[in-house]
Chain A
Amino acid sequence: MKNIKILGTGCKACDTTANLFRIAAEQAGVEIELEKVTDIAEIMGYGVMSTPGVIIDGEVVHAGGLPGPDQIRQWISE
Chain B
Amino acid sequence: MFEALSDLVVYRWIGLSPDNHFGAALHFFVMDVTKIFVMLILIIYLMGLLRAYLSPERIRTYIQNRPDWQARGMAVTLGAVTPFCSCSSVPLFIGFVEAGIPLGVTYSFLIASPMINEVAAVILVGILGWKLALLYVGAGLMVAWFGGIIMQWFKPERWVEDYVWKIHMGETPTLERDDSLKGRHSYAAAEVKEIVGRIWKWVLIGIGVGALFHGFVPEAWVTEHLAGGNWFDVPTAVLLGIPLYSNATGIIPVAEAMLTKGVAIGTTLALMMSVAALSLPEMLILRKVVKWQALAIFAGVLAIAFIIVGWGFNAMNIPAL
Contacts and interface: CB of A to CB of B under 8 A. Distances in A.
A60 to B, nearest CB: 4
Contacts, number: 80
Contacts of B173: 46-48, 59-60, 63
Contacts of B190: 65-66, 68
- The majority secondary structure among interface residues of chain B is helix
Contacts of A46: 170, 173
A45 B186 contact: no
Given A9-B91, A50-B91, A45 B85 contact: no
Interface string A47-64: 111110000000111111
B90 A50 contact: no
A41 interface: yes
| Size bracket, chain B contacts | 20 to 34
Nearest to B86: A11
Nearest to A10: B87
Contacts of A48: 57, 91, 170, 172-173
Contacts of B95: 44, 49
Contacts of A66: 190, 193-194
A47 B172 contact: yes
Contacts of B175: 60-63
B94 A40 contact: yes
Given A43-B91, A44-B170, A50 B186 contact: no
A25 B88 CA distance: 28
A60 B173 CA distance: 7
Interface in A11-25: 11, 13
Contact of B55 (A9, A50, A59): A50
Contact of B163 (A41, A43, A64): A41
B220 interface: no
Interface in B183-198: 186-187, 190-191, 193-194
Most chain B CB atoms below 10 A, which of A40, A49, A70: A49
B55 A47 contact: no
B167 A41 contact: yes
A11 to B, nearest CB: 4
Contact of B56 (A11, A50, A62, A70): A50
Contact of B169 (A44, A50, A51, A61): A44
Interface string B92-113: 1011001000000000000000
A70 B60 CA distance: 30
A45 B168 contact: yes
A5 B166 CA distance: 23
Contacts of B167: 40-41, 44-45
29 contacts: A9-B87, A9-B91, A13-B194, A40-B90, A40-B167, A41-B163, A43-B91, A44-B91, A44-B98, A44-B169, A45-B168, A46-B170, A49-B56, A49-B88, A49-B91, A49-B92, A50-B55, A50-B56, A51-B88, A59-B173, A60-B175, A62-B175, A63-B173, A64-B55, A65-B191, A66-B190, A66-B193, A68-B186, A68-B190
Closest 5 CB pairs of A and B: A47-B170, A60-B173, A47-B172, A49-B56, A11-B87
Interface of B: 55-57, 60, 85, 87-88, 90-92, 94-95, 98, 163, 166-173, 175, 186-187, 190-191, 193-194, 288
Given A50-B91, A66-B194, 20 more contacts: A9-B91, A13-B194, A40-B288, A44-B91, A44-B98, A44-B169, A45-B169, A46-B170, A47-B57, A48-B57, A49-B88, A49-B94, A50-B55, A50-B88, A51-B87, A51-B88, A60-B173, A61-B175, A65-B191, A66-B193
Interface of A: 9, 11, 13, 40-41, 43-51, 59-66, 68, 70
